[in-house]
Amino acid sequence: MTLTKRFFKYVSFTTTSDENTKMTPSTPGQMVFAKYLVEELKSIGLQNVDLDKNGYVMATLPANIDKPIPTIGFISHMDTSPDMTAKNVKPRIVESYDGNDILLNEEKLIILETEKFPEILQYKGQDIIVTNGTTLLGADDKAGLAEIVTAMEYLIAHPEIKHGDIRVGFTPDEEIGQGADHFDVQKFGAEWAYTMDGGEIGELEYENFNAAGAKVIFKGINVHPGYAYHKMRNSMRVAQEFVGMLPRWETPEHTQDYEGFYHLVGMEGNVEESVLSYIIRDHDRDRFERRKKEMQHLVNKVNAEFGEGVATLELRDQYYNMREKIEPVKHIVDLAFEAMEAVGVKPNVKPIRGGTDGARLSFEGLPCPNIFAGGHNFHGRFEYVPIQSMEKAMMVIVKIVEIMGQR
């Protein structure tokens, strides 16, 4: 199966994750997809293909050389972001992209505009997979999945490329921060791995945000509005006060590179109770800890003004910056760098303004730098991926394996 055909098949599965179900995988579609992948991996010739009760898929491409070579792995996630629907994804190919705006949906007049997304202009002349404007595409991370499986298929078809044992792993629920929750590092058995979960061509990342999730719960008192004088406490108005206390410019739309932020991702409520959901991000661990303390400080400030217990904070760390675990084994980044250059890709080493399964796995003993999968504008209707970028990512996987075998 060609890389593009495989990708189209993968995005036909609805695998949106959902943090509210308290299950693993969090949605049934992910297990349906996992079972499909198991059968595909078996059909192309991988061995030790395994699917556990939590929806984690692992398999082995056995060594074809009689000398000790470290076992390495490649990992991608099966779920797509809950930020937008992934039901009935209808991808299409814009062949030989001409550099103009792309009409995604004529009926709804949804246009991918070059003025808003100028990065697409670097792919002029290439073939670009886009959405129909009503769903996300799912290149995050089904492009990575397709690249890994296609690379394994290529290596099986080219036994002249000598290699050690190669492990592949596919995880559920990465998009809701739970992708590594039940990943069995010992069972995976690799010395190190690469997540194929980066963005545009050339990205190579080994540092990421420290991350936490926060919920601030506000309690109100509801009284008939005609008799509410000095009695009512509207939880939504208290929540509004809290939102205004956080630094206005420390949000995703006002920060870049190594700058951290507070991001309000959800709000719901009525007079009696309101809940604000935040994510907190910073590359620097000290600043990250200060951000969490600032959230608690502001909750205390609300309680001092409106009454003890009016506001409560629920805070949980999600993952940490993998740089401290990767730097002692920096040669694994150098290997990916060398492989990219060997296949004609200019490496772009940069910090991830987000996280991957590899961030948490690195702290569990499996160092995992992140390699580009090729997509842009993840989690929304304007997501796209150039076919040539996917092909290069697949070639990078093959080249990493080949270089390891030569050494």
Condensed to tens digits (0 to 9), the pLDDT of residues 175-212 reads 988 999 999 999 999 999 999 999 999 999 999 999 99
What's the mean pLDDT when you consider all of the chain? 96
Distance in angstroms (rounded) separating the CA atoms of residues 16 and 391:
25
The span from the CA of 330 to the CA of 215, in Å, is 37
CA nearest neighbour of 284 among 258, 322, 250, 315:
258
How far is CA 15 from each of CA 99, 167, 275, 386, rounded to the nearest angstrom? 32, 23, 27, 22
Assess contact for 145 and 10: CB atoms under 8 A: yes
Is the pLDDT assigned to residue 385 strictly greater than 90? Answer: yes
Confidence (pLDDT) at 355? 78
Query: Which tokens is 248 given?
Result: 């206005």
Rounded CA separation 258/250 (Å): 12
Query: Global pTM?
Result: 0.87
Residue 161 has pLDDT above 90, yes or no: yes
Q: Is the dihedral of CA 356, 246, 266, 311 positive or negative?
A: positive
Cα(363)–Cα(284) distance, integer angstroms: 16
Per DSSP bridges, beta strands 128-130 and 384-386 are antiparallel
Q: Report pLDDT for 260.
A: 96
- The percentage of residues in the chain with a pLDDT greater than 70, rounded to a whole number, is 100
More confident residue, 353 or 11: 11
Residue 1: the pLDDT is 82
- Say yes or no to pLDDT of 367 above 90: yes
The tokens for 189 are 């058995």
Who contacts 61 (Cβ-Cβ below 8 Å, separation ≥6)?
46, 47, 152, 155, 156, 163, 165, 166, 167, 168
Pairing status of strand 192-198 against strand 72-77: parallel
pLDDT at 407 over 90: no
**What is the CB neighbour count within 10 angstroms for residue 270?**
11
82 prior amide bond cis, ω within 30: no
Tell me the average pLDDT across 306-315.
Answer: 96
Amino acid at site 389: S
Residues taking part in catalysis: 79, 174
pLDDT of residue 354: 81
DSSP string, 102-144: EEEETTTTEEE-TTT-GGGGGGTTS-EEE--SSS---HHHHHH
Q: Where are the beta strands (DSSP E) in 6-71?
A: 47-51, 57-61
Length of the chain: 407
Residue 318 has pLDDT above 90, yes or no: no
Reported as a pLDDT band with limits 50, 70 and 90, residue 357 is: confident
Domains and their CATH numbers in the chain: 3-208+321-406 (3.40.630.10), 213-319 (3.30.70.360)
